[in-house]
Structure 1
Amino acid sequence: MPLSEEFLTELRYRNSIETIVSSYVNLHRRGNMITGLCPFHNEKTPSFTLYPENNSFYCFGCGVGGDVITFIRDIENLDYMEAVRLLSDRSGLPMPDDGFDDGARRLRQTLLEINRETARFFHNELKTQRGRKAYEYLKDRRLTDDTIRHFGLGYSPDSFDALLNHLKSKGFREPDIVLANVVANGKTGKPYDRFHNRIMFPIIDLRGNVIAFGGRIMPGLEGAKYINTADTPIYKKSRNIYALNVAKNTKENNLILAEGYMDVISLHQAGFTNAVASLGTAFTQEQALLLGRYCKEIVVTLDADEAGQKATEKAIRVLSGSNMRVRVLRIDGGKDPDEYIREFGPDRFRALLEGAGNEIEYKLFTLRQKYDLTADSGKMLYLNEAAILLSELPVAIARDIYSGKLAKELEVSKEAILKQTEQTRQRKTKAEYNKRLKEFTAPKIKQDAITPEKREHPRAACAEEAILCLLMNFPDLKKEMNGRVQPEDFMTGFHRKVFETVEKQLENGVFDLTLISGEFSTQEMGRIVAIQNKTVAKANAINELADCIRILKDEKENSIIGKASEMETDQWAEALQKLRRQKGSSS
């Protein structure tokens, strides 16, 4: 059964959009406008807007929007019922016990229980005789028992069914165990433990749930160094950060982005409790947005090998679009943070951390390594690339400062560097202008996944949006409709569905986003909010509605005429006659 209208209305009343969003986003109020930096895409100028009057939000930058339930679904990566439950728990509103389908929540809870029991099994194995070598390895890495316990480290035994048998003995079903990805089905269909003879690192989300695992191969053995949990219903590696559940509580004013589990654990043990890692995957925009909720500065300290340098460059590219400051820590000698701390101690590492340069300094350093600066040809090649890099800096003062540093370092004229930098900027500006001009003079109608018909019927789609906007904002206009528009008049399937939903709601005289949130995807809710919050004037509402109905009927008629060759003559004539009768009655 669906949730009752009374429950959803009370849920919305207890969870205002401003109160909920403000716990994730730093909001600014200007008159009736409430804005902030969007938590769903990287931006430096706020385009994320709240509408308290209808308890909705919308981002003009990325198009994400919806009601308070949609916001929680997107920000917490939850399904509809999980988001409702989170809001009900937060506001002290009991969930109704009316037999609604809560299967997704029960499955999620089962998978979390499987992972929790798996983590307990691995940790206990570390204390057994067969886990002795794994324990000794961790001790050789100078990890204390407290650290091992704090991060829940463990050992997966050299067996293909030890974990499977253990979980089954605890009452878990085999299909659920496989879905949790701690057990996999072999080619013959026989299940086997996915991790065996590995040191295990549980991955814990922000609420303290074990959601996945990483397994490191034992020293001296052949095979993949790390095996990680694949994406499951409770885990998406591109949206999670290792150890953020601990680092979010740090007293430091920044976060350290390291490369692997051991780097993070060693850093925490050494007192750097603000260290996190990106879970063995290329750093993603979703991860950058997640980190941005907890800090204003990121210090990137990935490994110094070639792979680590490429990962650093990728992380810088992703982070440069955010509103966080970025610094890069370089460790000489090709050492990673774990090795450096073990050899030189925490104080030396802290000194390195405090001296970490910003992203421009790191990029200049990386460029410098490519050329022989003792030769004039090497200097010229380096300065050419450096000028391109400096031309990307938006602030003139920054370009001046770095040009001065380069001039002093290479004993060349600062004015010459600035001149070349400015010439590069002008070429880029002209190229970008020409590109925008071409797009403006020859616009392309982009394919719209939500309303694909809009490409073929743009005029009708715009009229449909206007009709929906008017009905959502002025429910009394339903009387003016008086059957003049039917769902079949709409030429886009999505708008037709929204129209039917709005009409049904207006039978009670009001339109409430929260009451329809469960019927649409989060992407569709964003589109509905965009339509609802378009600027409309009540004084012209009746005339505008009439104009839109006329346009919609005209477009429908043109569409039917255009399909003459595809329809039987009698069928075509009947459809056209019916539409013209409707047009006559609506004029």
Structure 2
Amino acid sequence: MYYSDEVIDKVRDATDIVRLIGASVRLKKAGRRYVGLCPFHNEKTPSFSVDPDRQMYYCFGCHKGGNVFTFLEEHDNMTFQEAVQTLAGQAGISLPEQSYRPGEKKARDEKMQILELNKVAATWFFKELHSPEGREGLSYLRGRKLTDETIQRFGLGFAPADSSSLYNYLKERGFSDELIRMSGLMNLDELRGRMYDRFRNRVIFPILDTQNRVIGFGGRVMGDAKPKYLNSPESAVFDKSRNLYGYNVARRTRAGKLILCEGYMDVIAMHQAGFTYAVASLGTALTWQHCEIIRRFTKDVILSYDSDQAGTNAKMRAIPMLRKAGITPVILHLEPYKDPDEFIKAEGQEAFQKRLDQAENAFLFESGVMQKRFRMDDPDGAADFYDALATLIASMDDVFKRKGYIRLAAEQYGIEEADLTDRVRAKLEKGIVDDRYLSAARGGSSYNRDYRTEARPEEDSPRTAEVSRETSGVEDEGPSYEERPVPDYYEDLSTGDYYQIPRPATRRGSEGSVGDQSLEMSRRLLLSYIARYPSIAGDIKPYIGKDGYGDGLAGSVAEILYGQMEEHQKVDEAAVIARFEDTQTQAKVAELFHTMDMAANDSERVKAIRETVRKVYEASPISMEEGANEMAKAVTRKQKLNQIRMLEVHLS
């Protein structure tokens, strides 16, 4: 399904971004804009800015940004289409039927019907729990120390042992066999040619998405039947690899972190004890999609898997996935109890909080598990462990983390820091820190099967064989990053606006040279000037046109921005953002529009603009110049560079 630019712009223009974001973020007016604590990361000082005139938001701390659609995509985990539909409904705008591609309207209608069916089924399960047939299930939940309030809050229910109770009820409510089958609530008896209830004699856990819609169910059997836990199959509305149990509540907390555990009861027990930022994967190992959902919300995760060997294996699989997604995990130790539910019942809320505060660094946990697999009293065994330790450190992408963990490991295991540094550098230079070697270092394929096979596009390829000493992160020659003086943003006292300081973090040896990245930043800064002062586009036209911004993000933004000015004689930054589909790119575009120099007055700003124009123009191919030969083109270029130094710039 798609919507035309005209429809998208109409919905966006009809939406008050301050009111939309203010419903979940406490905003305070500051000049022309509103500021508040960022809903996407934990902070004590507001760095989240909402600009009603530009219909944009941006956080100078975590760099999340975009328009009204982006906010719903990021904050409420909606798709772009769902965001458009939600805001259109709030604004009373009817969306055109012709916006659907062939077959999409049918698929959307079926999805909405399944959601309605699930809602009806969840209500029925809840009522059954409190009926005579649900006595065993209710007794089980109360035996697990759940209060009536918690049972109601999570909508817990019960499926009777009868094989057709739910089916008959749904038929009475007018749902078709086809829709009931598509919902996943029934199994098909092929011999008898009939459907029967999938969940029987089970306590039911409704699974909700971020919009609090019932998308599936989990069931815990009463008695010894197998399987102990049963989930809905995947459907048009339920994808277990893209949903986390309890996330609909956890994402609305201000904890700024998540506790990741194994099961429904762990999540419910923690929420009842006040730890409402606990979530669990739905009967599946942690996936890259889960990591992406988590990363949107926080970079801090507490792993609270069971204390048994299976739990340890799960932690060892999850840690590298979370780390690779840019998330910092720590490990919660629950011994002598098996899981959070047992711990909280036995020790209480305060003791659990104390364990959370004492959560172990994930690297120390990993290396500790690895060490147990080697005979440390044997020189060969110890050497093999130190080699595995070096492999683990070399697998980390961040140069400063590598240096820090070299120091930590040297202290923890009594190794000479210089020796470990040399070993890490050697592994980086040989390029032997891909997933296969890392798996072996961590204890074999059984520990890392999911990590190796859950492919992540463009990130799971082995490192190149040639890694310079500069980028190894283990030399004493200083950091491989250029200086990043703080702060990263400043306040324009004349307008009260915040702007990003154009200071790219660049790593030697990373994608693109320092010069390339600097040029791209200059192009983005120039576009930010044009967005703020559209008349600049005319001032610089003899030197830089809409094709003068390269093939990167700046080039894409320039094409849209110049198109706006040609068609409407104005700039609409929020509309530019809407032309990009994924939220990460939208955030980068929002950052582009919040990039500005630190000029103290208009005179200094004009100088800064001239310098930026010069950098961008100077990088353009000389073949673009007018002239009969290379000499004439060089003369033309020199003349234009002199003209730029005296360029008349209109800040309007």
Q: Please state which band the TM-score falls in when normalised by the shorter chain.
A: 0.5 to 0.7
Matched, 1:326 2:322: no
2: CA distance, partners of 1:56 / 1:99:
23
Who is 2:420 aligned against?
421
1: CA distance, partners of 2:254 / 2:611:
55
Q: Residue 113 of structure 1: SS of its match in structure 2?
A: helix
The Cα shift of 1:258 comes to: 1.3
> Would you say how many aligned residue pairs link Structure 1 and Structure 2?
508
Who is 1:240 aligned against?
243
- Cα RMSD between the aligned structures? 6.1
Q: Is the 2:11–2:93 Cα contact (8 Å) retained in structure 1? A: no
Q: 1:304 aligns with which of 280, 296, 307?
A: 307
Higher helix share: 1
Indicate how the Cα distance of structure 1 residues 50 and 106 shifts in structure 2: closer, same or farther if over 3 A, else same. Answer: farther
Q: Write the letter of the residue equivalent to 1:95.
A: A
Who is 1:558 aligned against?
none
1: CA distance, partners of 2:348 / 2:309:
25
Matched, 1:182 2:181: no
Indicate how the Cα distance of structure 1 residues 166 and 515 shifts in structure 2: closer, same or farther if over 3 A, else same. Answer: farther
2: CA distance, partners of 1:279 / 1:68:
30
Indicate how the Cα distance of structure 1 residues 469 and 182 shifts in structure 2: closer, same or farther if over 3 A, else same. Answer: farther
1: CA distance, partners of 2:147 / 2:85:
39
Structure-to-structure mapping, 1:270-289, within 5 angstroms = 270-289=273-292
Q: 1:400 aligns with which of 407, 423, 435?
A: 407
2: CA distance, partners of 1:356 / 1:253:
16
Q: 1:225 aligns with which of 216, 221, 229?
A: 229
The Cα shift of 1:239 comes to: 3.4
Q: Is the 1:153–1:202 Cα contact (8 Å) retained in structure 2? A: yes
Indicate how the Cα distance of structure 1 residues 475 and 149 shifts in structure 2: closer, same or farther if over 3 A, else same. Answer: closer
The Cα shift of 1:51 comes to: 12
Q: Is the 1:302–1:336 Cα contact (8 Å) retained in structure 2? A: yes
Runs of 5+ consecutive residues of structure 1 not aligned to the other structure: 41-47, 407-413, 438-442, 446-467, 482-494, 553-587
For 1:430-472, what per-residue CA distance to the aligned partner results, in whole angstroms no more than 9, with x for missing partners? Answer: 34671589xxxxx999xxxxxxxxxxxxxxxxxxxxxx99999
The Cα shift of 1:153 comes to: 1.7
Q: Write the letter of the residue equivalent to 2:401.
A: P
2: CA distance, partners of 1:349 / 1:540:
55
Q: Write the letter of the residue equivalent to 2:410.
A: S
For 1:77-98, what per-residue CA distance to the aligned partner results, in whole angstroms no more than 9, with x for missing partners? Answer: 4344531354468xxxx52455
1: CA distance, partners of 2:408 / 2:152:
48
The Cα shift of 1:506 comes to: 4.5
Indicate how the Cα distance of structure 1 residues 373 and 532 shifts in structure 2: closer, same or farther if over 3 A, else same. Answer: closer
Q: Is the 1:326–1:359 Cα contact (8 Å) retained in structure 2? A: yes
Who is 1:100 aligned against?
96
The Cα shift of 1:107 comes to: 6.0
Q: Is the 1:9–1:515 Cα contact (8 Å) retained in structure 2? A: no
Q: Residue 120 of structure 1: SS of its match in structure 2?
A: helix
2: CA distance, partners of 1:99 / 1:73:
19
2: CA distance, partners of 1:273 / 1:203:
16
Q: Is the 1:16–1:55 Cα contact (8 Å) retained in structure 2? A: no
Q: Is the 1:319–1:326 Cα contact (8 Å) retained in structure 2? A: no
Q: Write the letter of the residue equivalent to 1:424.
A: R
The Cα shift of 1:259 comes to: 0.7
Q: Is the 2:77–2:210 Cα contact (8 Å) retained in structure 1? A: no
1: CA distance, partners of 2:150 / 2:23:
35
Indicate how the Cα distance of structure 1 residues 65 and 431 shifts in structure 2: closer, same or farther if over 3 A, else same. Answer: farther
Who is 2:69 aligned against?
69
Q: Report sequence identity in percent.
A: 27
2: CA distance, partners of 1:267 / 1:174:
38
2: CA distance, partners of 1:386 / 1:521:
41
For 1:111-170, what per-residue CA distance to the aligned partner results, in whole angstroms no more than 9, with x for missing partners? Answer: 443222211111222233333333343344444444333322222223443223323333
For 1:298-356, what per-residue CA distance to the aligned partner results, in whole angstroms no more than 9, with x for missing partners? Answer: 321112334322221232223324354523425347x2333444556656555544433
Who is 2:506 aligned against?
none
Q: Residue 394 of structure 1: SS of its match in structure 2?
A: helix
Indicate how the Cα distance of structure 1 residues 533 and 327 shifts in structure 2: closer, same or farther if over 3 A, else same. Answer: same
Structure-to-structure mapping, 1:105-254, within 5 angstroms = 110-183=113-186, 190-223=194-227, 225-233=229-237, 235-248=238-251, 254=257
2: CA distance, partners of 1:88 / 1:14:
16
Indicate how the Cα distance of structure 1 residues 431 and 148 shifts in structure 2: closer, same or farther if over 3 A, else same. Answer: same
Q: Write the letter of the residue equivalent to 1:263.
A: D
Q: Residue 401 of structure 2: SS of its match in structure 1?
A: coil
Matched, 1:366 2:373: no
Indicate how the Cα distance of structure 1 residues 260 and 169 shifts in structure 2: closer, same or farther if over 3 A, else same. Answer: same
Who is 2:263 aligned against?
260
Structure-to-structure mapping, 1:375-386, within 5 angstroms = 375-386=378-389
Structure-to-structure mapping, 1:450-529, within 5 angstroms = 506-510=566-570, 512=572, 521-522=581-582
Q: Residue 282 of structure 1: SS of its match in structure 2?
A: coil
2: CA distance, partners of 1:506 / 1:21:
37
For 1:256-311, what per-residue CA distance to the aligned partner results, in whole angstroms no more than 9, with x for missing partners? Answer: 22111122223344554443212222224443454456666432111233432222
Who is 1:83 aligned against?
83
1: CA distance, partners of 2:139 / 2:374:
45
Indicate how the Cα distance of structure 1 residues 472 and 20 shifts in structure 2: closer, same or farther if over 3 A, else same. Answer: farther
Q: Write the letter of the residue equivalent to 2:204.
A: M
1: CA distance, partners of 2:257 / 2:320:
18
2: CA distance, partners of 1:76 / 1:318:
23
1: CA distance, partners of 2:275 / 2:39:
29
2: CA distance, partners of 1:351 / 1:51:
37
1: CA distance, partners of 2:239 / 2:347:
36
The Cα shift of 1:196 comes to: 2.8
Runs of 5+ consecutive residues of structure 2 not aligned to the other structure: 42-46, 100-104, 432-464, 470-509, 513-526, 542-554, 597-608, 625-652
Q: Is the 2:76–2:211 Cα contact (8 Å) retained in structure 1? A: no
The Cα shift of 1:421 comes to: 0.9
2: CA distance, partners of 1:79 / 1:320:
26
For 1:469-507, what per-residue CA distance to the aligned partner results, in whole angstroms no more than 9, with x for missing partners? Answer: 9999999999xx9xxxxxxxxxxxxx99x9899869954
Q: Is the 1:214–1:229 Cα contact (8 Å) retained in structure 2? A: no
Who is 2:545 aligned against?
none
The Cα shift of 1:238 comes to: 3.2
Indicate how the Cα distance of structure 1 residues 23 and 376 shifts in structure 2: closer, same or farther if over 3 A, else same. Answer: farther
1: CA distance, partners of 2:257 / 2:236:
30
The Cα shift of 1:418 comes to: 1.7
Q: Write the letter of the residue equivalent to 1:194.
A: R
The Cα shift of 1:363 comes to: 1.2
Which TM-score applies when normalising by structure 2?
Answer: 0.57
Q: Residue 434 of structure 1: SS of its match in structure 2?
A: coil
Q: Is the 2:258–2:279 Cα contact (8 Å) retained in structure 1? A: yes
Q: Is the 2:67–2:578 Cα contact (8 Å) retained in structure 1? A: no
Who is 1:490 aligned against?
none
Q: Residue 245 of structure 2: SS of its match in structure 1?
A: coil
Deviation larger for 314-323 or 113-122 = 314-323
Q: Is the 1:57–1:67 Cα contact (8 Å) retained in structure 2? A: yes
Indicate how the Cα distance of structure 1 residues 267 and 50 shifts in structure 2: closer, same or farther if over 3 A, else same. Answer: closer
Q: Is the 2:122–2:214 Cα contact (8 Å) retained in structure 1? A: yes
